[in-house]
Structure 1
Amino acid sequence: MDEKTLSLIQQKIGYQFTNPVLLKQAFVSPSLSAVTQNRVQNYQILEFIGDAVLGLAVVKNLASEFCHVDASGQFVSSAPEGQLSEEKSRLVKNEKLAHCSNVLEFDSYLERAHGYYLHDRKNKKGDLIESILGAVAIDSNWNMDVLSRVASELLRYDKTVKTASEELKNYCEKNGLDLPTYSFWNCGSRYDCAVSLQSVNGLFVGNGKTVEEAQNAAVESAYTYLTGQNVTKKQTVEQTGANILNSSKKSPTAVEMVNLKYIKKEIVQPNYSFAQTAENGKLFWICTLTLNNNEHQVSGKATTRKKAKQAAAKAMLDLLENSKQEEKSISSRKFPGIGLLKRAMILRKEAF
């Protein structure tokens, strides 16, 4: 590999090597090491390192996008853990890495032994992304900021959710608007996403078969509204609720109703966790549903995760309804003959 090629690759990945020999090694196939009896080291050890580095860099970037430390010092996420795990898996899968490698034409730089071109399968092209990240890790002395930046640079050549959300984020920063916040929920066979823009009092909703499709649709709606291109009326919280309720001819599920309460800010973000238990030789799923402030916690048990989640959501709806009725009863006994609104205002003043 000559100096011109090395320079071109470094421009593509946005990183200048202190030791360019590492970058050369990232493009040496095992076949070449075999015919040189290992006098020339191949990319496999760098790929091993890069595989772990890629996962950590993607997690760091997702955490930067969806998570923050709140006023109480707790680390909170606007997206459920399951959705983040799915997005991470999508970003690091071999097919995506191979696509990015193709766009960057990395395969044309790979040094192979003669006659081994057809031996390199599609997934092998994805290995080059990981071997480059491994080389950057060693050269930068494991600088996480550098690795996150290079990982983003390598993965941006596919049309992804992150690219769309970054465009919206950049637009907001450029125009002095509050940054967008995201809410996600799983509605059976599809995902829904809501993008909240406090600066314009707007809530924009999208849905799709995957998390990325749902977020792309929501971001496109928000970005279209902000830029004034083919502007349609922005969705209010009430309209969002109507969309959820009317999204299917079937009655909304308990999970959808809990998500609707969250979107309408009647409750804080719901979090679901799962565990398995065995009873009389039969396996059951236990789903625990907790609101972020730990105000309420319920559980549901069933033979499948999906049914257990629905059972937990139903239990939460019942608990919220019972709490609401109890508050009305207490208010009625304490302030007989006074309207509910006035009672609530009096109780609120007493609380402070």
Structure 2
Amino acid sequence: MSRNAGRADRSGLEAALGHSFTRGDLLGTALTHISGIQGYNARAQSYQRLEFLGDRVLGLAVSAMLYGEFPQATEGELSRRLADLVRRESCAEVAAQWDVGPYLRLGPGEVQSGGRGRQAILGDVCEAIIGAVFIDGGFEAASALIRRFWEPRMLSPRRALQDPKTALQEWAQAKGKPTPVYSETERSGPAHAPRFTVTVAIEGWQPADGLGSSKRLAEQAAAEAFMSREGFGPPPPAEGTEP
């Protein structure tokens, strides 16, 4: 698809969204990066205002979904789930699912530097499109769009909602136990590639060990080992990777 064709014919994008715009100018604005506008009023003609609105609409719609889907969840858990679902990376993934790249209106410099696939731009455009749908069809239309693409992510999170140390600490607190204590028990390997062994202890429970290329990773691994043994918590990532 040529750049000009992408501006003129957005029916493919509308089909992906599941929303046919009555005001095509709204979708056009939602797809316009500030680099694609010339003149003193460029910001007002770019997607920035729609992005601002769409961010709030997304937060409200996802919050309502979470509230209904997880009736036993605490405010803290709901907040963590919300943060994961509305983060820029999640929005960029949805925008990529819509394949918005060919439709973006970018300046030559942004095009040459790979702007059509840049996560920051895709995340912003995703929110701008939600804002455009809200203005064009109301909250019901925007909420339907959000549910269609965010509900599967809500039901099957792509990331652990918490890092293992935080999850273990909250578990201990819920049982009335002191904060877990982490102790370095062994360090091996050369100075440029050390290996750490850390033990985590909670009063009244058997300690657990973790191994990692840094103390932080070893602590995370120890928390994961403890939770795995006790049968709760997120699945562990591959050894030596950041959670």
Partner of 1:251: 204
Partner of 1:126: 123
1:38: Cα distance to partner? 4.0
Partner of 2:11: 7
Question: Could you tell me how far apart the structure 2 residues matched to 1:145 and 1:163 are?
Answer: 24
Partner of 1:138: 135
- Alpha-carbon distance change, 40 to 85 in structure 1, aligned in 2, over 3 angstroms: closer
Counterpart AA for 1:148: S
1:251: Cα distance to partner? 3.1
Counterpart AA for 2:136: D
1:11: Cα distance to partner? 1.3
Alignment of 1:1-352 (within 5 A): 5-34=9-38, 38=42, 41-66=45-70, 77-117=71-111, 118=113, 120=115, 121-140=118-137, 143-155=138-150, 160-163=153-156, 188=168, 251=204
TM-score, normalization by structure 2: 0.57
Identity %: 30
Partner of 1:230: none
Conservation of the 8 A alpha-carbon contact between 1:61 and 1:148: no
- Alpha-carbon distance change, 30 to 154 in structure 1, aligned in 2, over 3 angstroms: farther
Partner of 1:205: none
What do the CA deviations read for 1:223-266 (whole angstroms, capped 9, x no partner)?
Answer: xxxxxxxxxxxxxxxxxxxxxxxxx99736xxxxxxxxxxxxxx
Q: Which has the larger helix fraction?
A: 2
Question: Could you tell me how far apart the structure 1 residues matched to 2:43 and 2:139 are?
Answer: 31
Q: Which moved more, 1:100-109 or 1:33-42?
A: 33-42
Counterpart AA for 1:111: R
Conservation of the 8 A alpha-carbon contact between 1:47 and 1:134: yes
Instruction: Report how many aligned residue pairs link the two structures.
Output: 162
- Alpha-carbon distance change, 249 to 40 in structure 1, aligned in 2, over 3 angstroms: closer
Partner of 2:183: none
TM-score, normalization by structure 1: 0.41
Q: Which has the larger strand fraction?
A: 1
1:129: Cα distance to partner? 0.8
Structure 1 or 2, whichever has the larger Rg, is 1
Conservation of the 8 A alpha-carbon contact between 1:26 and 1:135: yes
What do the CA deviations read for 1:146-186 (whole angstroms, capped 9, x no partner)?
Answer: 22211123435xx634258xxxxxxxxxxxxxxxxxxxxx8
Counterpart AA for 2:133: V
Counterpart AA for 2:146: A
1:124: Cα distance to partner? 1.6
1:40: Cα distance to partner? 8.9
Question: Could you tell me how far apart the structure 2 residues matched to 1:34 and 1:21 are?
Answer: 17
What do the CA deviations read for 1:285-320 (whole angstroms, capped 9, x no partner)?
Answer: xxxxxxxxxxxxxxxxxxxxxxxxxxxxxxxxxxxx
Partner of 1:272: none
